[in-house]
Chain A
Amino acid sequence: MPVSCSAKCGNNAVLKRPKTGDALCKECFFWAFETEVHSTIQGGQLFKQGDVVAVAASGGKDSTVLAYVLKLLDERYNYGLKLVLLSIDEGITGYRDDSLETVKQNRDDYEMPLTILSYKELYGWTMDEIVEQIGRKNNCTFCGVFRRQALDRGAALLSVDKVATGHNADDIAETVLMNVLRGDIARLRRCTAIATESEGSIPRVKPLKYTYEKEIVMYAYFKKLVYFSTECVFAPNAYRGYARTFLKDLEKIRPSVIMDIIHSGERLSVRDNVRMPTRITCTRCGLVASQAICKACTLLEGLNRGLPRLGIGKESKTNRMRAQLQSAEAASDSAKRSAGDEF
Chain B
Amino acid sequence: MTGKDGLNLLIEFSGGAELLFNKIKKHNVSLPKSEIPWTIEKLLVWIKDNLLAEKPEMFIQDDSVRPGILVLVNDSDWELLGQLEYELQNNDNVMFISTLHGG
Chain A residues at the B interface, C-beta cutoff of 8 Å: 2-3, 12-16, 23, 58-64, 99, 166, 170, 213-214, 216-218, 221-222, 227-232, 235, 244-245, 248-249, 251-252
Whether A248 contacts B100 by the Cβ 8 Å rule is yes
| Residues of B17-57 contacting chain A, CB below 8 A | 19
Could you jot down 27 A-B contacts, CB within 8 Å?
A2-B76, A12-B76, A13-B76, A14-B75, A15-B79, A15-B80, A16-B79, A58-B103, A60-B101, A61-B103, A64-B103, A99-B103, A214-B99, A216-B99, A217-B70, A217-B97, A218-B77, A221-B97, A227-B103, A229-B14, A229-B102, A231-B19, A232-B102, A235-B102, A248-B66, A248-B67, A248-B100
B15 at the interface (CB under 8 A from A): yes
Residue ID in chain A nearest B69 by CB atoms = A248
Question: Interface residues of B, CB < 8 Å — how many?
Answer: 21
Contact call B80/A59, Cβ cutoff below 8 A: no
Give the residues in chain B near A251, CB-CB below 8 Å: 67
Contact (A213, B99) CB under 8 Å given A13-B76, A229-B15, A249-B67: yes
> Nearest Cβ in chain A — how far from B81, in angstroms?
8
Q: Which residues of B contact A99 (CB under 8 A)?
A: 103
Closest to B98 in A: A229
Report A7 CB to chain B, min CB distance, Å: 14
Given A218-B70, A248-B67, A248-B68, answer yes or no on A16-B77 (Cβ-Cβ < 8 Å): yes
- Given the known interface contacts A217-B97, A229-B16, A230-B19, the answer about A13 and B80 at a Cβ–Cβ threshold of 8 Å is yes
B-side residues, CB < 8 A to A, are: 14-16, 19, 66-68, 70, 72, 75-77, 79-80, 97-103
Q: Which A residues touch B79, using CB under 8 A?
A: 15-16
Given contacts A14-B75, A61-B15, A231-B19, contact A214 B80 (CB under 8 A): no
What's the nearest-Cβ distance from chain A to residue B102, in Å? Answer: 6
Expressed in whole angstroms, the minimum distance between the Cβ of A170 and any Cβ of chain B is 8
